[in-house]
Structure formats: C-alpha cells, structure tokens
Structure 1
Amino acid sequence: MARIDLDLAHSYLAQPHADEDYALLPLRFTFEDGGAYALLGPSGCGKTTLLNCISGLLRPSHGTIAFDGRDVTAATPQQRNIAQVFQFPVIYDTMTVGENLAFPLRNRGVPPDQVRERVGRVAEMLDLSAWLDRRASGLAADAKQKISLGRGLVRNDVSAILFDEPLTVIDPHLKWQLRRKLKEIHHEFRLTLIYVTHDQTEALTFADQVLVMSRGKTVQAGPADALFERPAHTFVGHFIGSPGMNFLAGQWRDGAIEMGGRRYTPELAPALGQALQAAGSFKVGVRPEYLRLAAANDPQAVPVVVERAQDIGTYWLVTAAVHEAGGKVATLRARMGGEAAALRAGETAWLSAFHRHTCYYVNEELVS
C-alpha cells in the first residue's frame, strides 16, 4: 500500500481561463497509507476525473502526484501498481469464477500455491466459494460485479485499490452486504481504498474519511460525524443528511439575531458573535434531527405553520413554513418522535432552533 500525495488541478481545455474551465480546481490532499476514503458528490463534480488522475488513466494538466514520496505524475497505471474496479463488471466471460480471480496473480507470476490460497480467501469473503468452477458468462450482473471486486482485492501488493461507483448494478440488499464485506476486508488487510460514489450512505458507512466534492472543488474532507455535525459549507449541509440541513436567513441587529421579526439571543462564543455582527446577514443552519417541539413563545424556538406530519415508520417527518428575515417564507423539515402525531396541518407550532448543534454561515461558509 502507499501514501498518495496530490497537488494538482485539471482542465480538459488546452488554455483554461476561469474556474468554470476546470474539471478539478486546485487540490492538495494526502491519502494516508492504509486509509479508507470516499469521494462523494453529485454527477459531474469531478470525482471520476480525480480517481483517474490517481490511477494514471488521466494525467493532470497542472501539478503532481506522488506515491510514498515518488513522483508518479507521468507513470502508467501498471507502473503505479494500481487496482481499479469500475462501475460495470470487467471480467473474462470465457473463464470460470476461480480463473477470473486468479488471473491478476498468475499474470504476475505468483506461485500456484499462493494463488490458490489467496483466491480461496477472497472468494470466501465475497461468498463466491461455491461458484469457483462456474463459467462467468452465465452469471447475473451483480454476481459478475462481485467477481470484479474480487479481482481488485485479490492482489496484496498494490499501492491502492480504486472503486468507481462499483455497486451501481448491485441490488440494494446485496449493496449493504458488500459494503460490510469491504469494511471487514479493510480492517483485516489495511488496504488503501478510495471509493467514488454519489450515494451518501455508501460513502459514510464505508469510509473513514469522506471528501465531499462540488463543481470540481473539494468542499470538505473529514469523518462522517464532522460532516454531519459541522458542515463546513452550506452545500455539505444540504447534501449530507436525509433530509438535509435547514437554513434560515438571519440578521444581526442590536446585539441579537433577528429572524422573521423575532429577536433571539442564544449563547454564542465571543468570536462567533463578533463574526455575525461584522457580517450583518448570515444563515442559521439546524439539522432536522435537532429540531424539537417547544412551548409557545420559548425564547430559543421558532414559530412555524405546520404543512404536514408524515409517519415514516422509524420517525415522523414534519414539514412546516417559517418566516425569515425580509418577510420571506422558507420550508423547515424536522425529524421527530411520536410527539409529532398530534400536529395538524395549518396550526402553529414552536420548534427549538438555537442550541449547541446550531451552525452559522457567512457567504455559505461555516463560522466557528
């Protein structure tokens, strides 16, 4: 495995002039040896471009890539010793499952006894042991993708294993099983794994560190709890969570936060209060999970008009309208327990919005 240091940018244009001309804006990041990482973001944000730069399928137009301190910017995937699993299965249909798994090892002259041992181990991990003698051509797409995953995992000498949305063709229940298997494999072998996905559940359950990307830029990198509790940008707050973070427009006026004509005086660290005062206008961010019913006229609660309360099964999803600064009306969503069953459309409720979980954003960026 390898430590991978990136200091790069990439444009598919010969002479880029503006940020919009870049598929990847300038990025400096280090993937530590043995770490499990995910590149998370919507389609077209640069995830696969970044992965292909790491693998050597694409040379960045600017900057460098280093493996364990060695510059590999111009090196091929073979020279970088990379294994890559793609979105759709890449296997040999004329071979058996066992032959497919063994091929990367035999191609490198690994002794037969080691090939058998490694193939057997990976096949057992992926529940492929009973299929080793079956031809791959007759298998379903999800089974073929399991073989493709196995081909990526069977080598233990690679610098890193890269996954480009590998569970796209897998049914939802098997996706959960394979994510768990990959996590177990990572814990056992401490492989350097980099996983591309647009699915936050996949990213947050698989990776120790998640890079959230938007429009060619890494907006925030960190563990799942940091992305959820303290989104560094409003995009991360929107993108992470189901539903995403609520954002309400606020203003600083006469030593207090004003929203919808009401004044709030939450406990703020001195530096945070000074930053909000200097900004004048800002956004108040609160997760649906942290909104709770409060007593009428509670000084830390926001009055809302209930639009609907839906029983989702494990929680109630409450959708409500709230007045912001400037007379605008915004939608607020809350995840609640059984107390939400008593709410009726059209009635006024009070939701606690200011507490230790509340975040504040100036120019879309978190203020601490």
Structure 2
Amino acid sequence: MAEIRLHNLAHSYSSQPKTAGDYAIREMNHVWEQGGAYALLGPSGCGKSTLLNIISGLLNPSHGEVLFDSKVVNALTPEKRNIAQVFQFPVVYDTMTVFDNLAFPLRNQGMAEPQVLSKVHEIAEVLDLHPLLTKKASNLTADEKQKVSMGRGLVRDDVSAILFDEPLTVIDPHLKWKLRRKLKQIHEQFNITMVYVTHDQLEASTFADKIAVMYGGQIVQFGTPRELFERPSHTFVGYFIGSPGMNLIEVERCGDGVKFANTHLNLSAALNQRLDSLDYQQLKIGIRPEFVHLWDVASSDIPDAASAADTAGSDAFNADVVHVEDLGTYKILTLDLDGQPLKVRLQEDQIVPKQRASVSFPAQWLMVYADDFLVSADVQGARHESA
C-alpha cells in the first residue's frame, strides 16, 4: 500500500504544447492517501485514463513528478512500482485455468507452492471463484473473467495500489451492483489503496470514500459524495452530479443581489461583498432540483406569490409549468421562470401544480459561481472556492 502524490503534474500529447488546450492533463497537485478508496469521475475525454496510466507507469508525464510514499517513481516501470491495474476489458490467460491465472503473479515472484495455494484460495473465497478454479479461462463469462482479472491484482501482498479503469463496462447491468459491493468489501478487508476510474456517478458513489471529479484535464473538486452533491465547487460538478443536474442560470449584478431578465434575487451582505472584490467575466447562480421550494399558486393556503414569500422566508417567483415527468418514486417538474428552464424534483406523494406554480430558493442551497467556480462568503480573503 502506498500514498500516491502528484506534484506539478501535467501531460501533453503534443511535442510543443503552447496553450492550456494542448494539455490532456493540466498542471495539478493531488494526493491519494494510503489505504483510501477513491474514484476518478468524469466524462469521456477528460483525462481520467491518461492520469491513471501516468500513475501506473504506462505513460511518462510531460512535466512534474509521481511519488509513492515520497519517493519519485517517474523512471520506474509498472512492475517496479508494484501497481496492479484492472482494465475496461478483462485481461486473462485463456489457456490457463482460473487457479493458474490467480497463481501466475505469485509464481513469478518465486513464492513457495504451499503459500501460492493458500493465497489463491483466500482470494477465490473473497471473489466467489472457488467453483471456477479448475475451469479454463476461455470458458468463462465476461463478468467471471473480470473477477479473475481483479483477483490477480489482489492476490499479491506487495501491491502498492490497485487501479481500476472502468472495470464494469462489459458487465451485465444486473451483475454490476454485486461487483461494486464486492469491491467495497475487498477494500474494507485488505485496506489497499484503490483508485477507480469511471464516468458513472453511481459507481463512483458506491465504491469510493472520496471522489475526484475531472473536467478538461483538471480535478475541479475532490470530496465525499455528499460534498459534491450539496456544495459543488464548479458548475461542471453541479451539472454532472445528480439526476437531473443542478439548475444553472446566467445572471448579472443588480443592487443587493443578482438578476436575470426581470427576476431579482437578493444575496447576503457577505456574499455581495465577496463579489465586489472579485474580477470575473461571467456570473451564474445554481440550485439543485431537490432544493427548489415549490408552492402551488392554486392552493388556498398560499393564494399568491407574495404569501408564498412570507411563508418561505425568502423571495418567491411565479413560473409556468411546462412538463411533468413521472419516474415512479419521484417526479421531475420543468418550469419556465422568466424565460429560463428550471427543474424541480418532487417526492412521489407531493402535489403537482397544473399550470402555474411559485418557487423560492432557500439561501443555504443557492450557489453563486464566478467564471464557473463557487464563490464562498465564509472564507478569509476574496477568492474563488476551488478543488
């Protein structure tokens, strides 16, 4: 097991990179702590696999250093880094039995056969592979092969870390949840540093204690699933995490708050002061569909938007109901708020307004983004909140 540290790391596939757009990985500093379970989450092309291959030694970075337990390993091969990597498509030796596949890395190290037998059976027990040990790998299903591929990484005691590059892509959907849970159990049992690359937020949240969200070659936020959901540090995190993603509306400064079209939203004095001290090109507000407060204008309890505002303790705005999507356990309501689409997530038993509704944005869940980074009013000094 190892702490993995990235120091001033950057990579470009261009021989003479000149702009930020020339870099697959923009300069970053990051730490994966020893024994942690981490996910590297982002869309295709954001640099996830490139970063993973740099950590494993399959790719040399253009700039910066990779350190294992404070030792620079840039010049070391994957074998000397003691890294196990599980790829998107299972890598097994088809002509060997499952037992021999699992035993192969141990025999390469010269381990005595009684110890090999003990370790193989230990990992086979963890991965439910005992019934398959005598089968040739060529006769296995895709998910069985992937478990064997995982087992080859887990069977070694000296492994520094296990890197997973979208390992469940080829697995049938109904089996994915089993393997996700199995990986979590393996981590809890062996306490191995694990980094799991995926584009699936559910996989990331199920597996990892902390998630690094990548966008445009950068880690734009690193935190727990709850932190990413409740306080996205970047508009991309807000958009990418959640179903549906965060509502984002471009706004401009106005008096003691911000506005879009004819809609004005008040901001706290501290947040206004922070915005006054920042230099930015674009300003947006963001709020999760789950956190939008919905009032039914037709309700006798709340006859108009003004009453809704009094009840909510914040500004309330009338909006037109555009569409209702019933997803069984919840509904997604699409509103038109002063020309801007607004998603609201409703509980299964919540009343759905027919044509008009009133909404309010609780201050604790309303985020403000300057040039896509969260503006925080609770830190010292005027700055953007970043990853």
Q: Same fold per TM (> 0.5)?
A: yes
Name the count of aligned residue pairs. Answer: 359
SS in 2 for 1:92: coil
What TM-score does the superposition give when structure 2 sets the normalisation length? Answer: 0.89
8 A contact 1:251–1:258 mirrored in 2: yes
Secondary structure of residue in 1 paired with 2:21 = helix
Partner residue, 1:326: none
Matched, 1:322 2:332: no
Q: Offset at 1:214?
A: 1.1
**In 1: Cα distance, 2:222 partner to 2:262 partner:** 36
1:1-368 equivalent positions in 2, closer than 5 A? 1-7=1-7, 8-265=9-266, 268=268, 270-277=269-276, 282-294=283-295, 295=302, 296-297=304-305, 298-299=308-309, 300-323=315-338, 329-338=339-348, 340-344=350-354, 347-368=355-376
CA distance in 1, matches of 2:364, 2:119: 50
Q: Is the CA contact (8 Å cut-off) linking 1:309 and 1:343 kept in structure 2?
A: no
| CA distance in structure 2 between the aligned counterparts of 1:69 and 1:252, rounded to whole angstroms | 47
**Alpha-carbon distance in structure 2 between the residues aligned to 1:127 and 1:208:** 24
- Matched residue SS, 1:15: coil
| Structure 1 stretch displaced more, 301-310 or 153-162 | 301-310
Of all paired residues, the percent bearing the same amino acid is: 53
| Matched-pair contact (CA < 8 Å) for 2:85–2:164 | yes
Secondary structure of the residue aligned to 2:227 is helix
What secondary structure does 1:342 align onto? Answer: coil
Q: Is the 8 A contact 1:318 1:340 kept in 2?
A: no
Query: Hey, what's the Cα distance between the residues in 1 that align with 2:277 and 2:64?
Result: 37
Q: Deviations over 1:179-210 (max 9, x none)?
A: 11111111111100011111111112111121
Aligned-residue offset at 1:282: 2.5
- Where 1:288 maps in the other structure, the secondary structure is coil
- Whole-Å Cα distance in 2 between the matches of residues 367 and 233 of structure 1? 10
- Is contact 2:257–2:272 with CA below 8 Å preserved after alignment? no
Amino acid at match of 2:129: L
The one-letter code sitting in structure 2 at the alignment partner of 1:237 is G
How far apart, CA to CA, are the structure 2 residues paired with 1:337 and 1:35?
A: 35
Give the C-alpha shift of residue 251 in structure 1: 3.1
Gaps of 5+ in 2: 296-301, 310-314, 377-387
Describe the SS at the equivalent of 1:356: helix
What are the ranges of 5 or more consecutive residues in structure 1 without an aligned counterpart? 324-328
Q: Which amino acid in structure 2 is aligned with residue 4 of structure 1?
A: I
Rounded Cα–Cα distance in structure 2 between residues aligned with 1:359 and 1:230: 8
Q: TM-score, normalised by structure 1?
A: 0.93
Give me the CA root mean square deviation.
1.7
The amino acid across from 2:362 in the alignment is F
- How many Å separate the matches in 1 of 2:324 and 2:6? 47
| CA deviation string 1:5-57 (max 9, x = no partner) | 11210111111111111111001111111111111111111111100100000
